[in-house]
A = this chain, B = another copy of it.
Amino acid sequence: MPSNQQILLDNRPTGEALVSNFKMVTADTPALKDGQVLVRHHFLSLDPYMRGRMNDAKGYTAPQALGQVMIGGTVGEVVESRSPKFAVGDTVVGMGGWQQFSVVDAEQLGALRKVDTTHVPLSHYLGAVGMPGVTAYYGLVKIIEAKAGQTVVVSAATGAVGSAFVALAKARGCRAVGTAGGPDKCKYAVDELGFDACVDYKTHQDAGSLSKAIKGHCPDGVDGYFENVGGMVLDAVLPLMNAFGRIAMCGMIAGYDGKPVPMSYPALILMSRLRVQGFIVSEQMDVWPEALKELGMLVATGKLKPRETVAHGLQAAPEAFLGLLKGKNFGKQIVKLI
Task: Report A's interface with B, CB cutoff 8 A.
Answer: 52, 57, 59-60, 230, 234, 239, 241, 243, 249-252, 255-256, 260-280, 283
Contact = CB atoms under 8 A, between A and B. Distances in A.
B265 A249 contact: no
B234 A271 contact: no
B276 A277 contact: yes
Given A59-B243, A243-B59, A234 B266 contact: yes
Given A255-B265, A272-B278, 12 more contacts: A59-B268, A59-B272, A60-B271, A249-B266, A249-B270, A255-B267, A260-B267, A262-B262, A269-B276, A273-B278, A273-B279, A276-B276
A264 B262 contact: yes
A271 B57 contact: yes
Closest 5 CB pairs of A and B: A270-B278, A262-B262, A252-B267, A263-B266, A255-B267
Nearest to A57: B271
Nearest to A52: B271
A265 B256 CA distance: 11
Contacts of A241: 59
A265 to B, nearest CB: 4
Contacts of A277: 269, 273-276
A294 to B, nearest CB: 24
A230 B265 CA distance: 11
A108 B160 CA distance: 53
A255 B276 CA distance: 19
A278 B283 contact: no
A280 B273 contact: yes
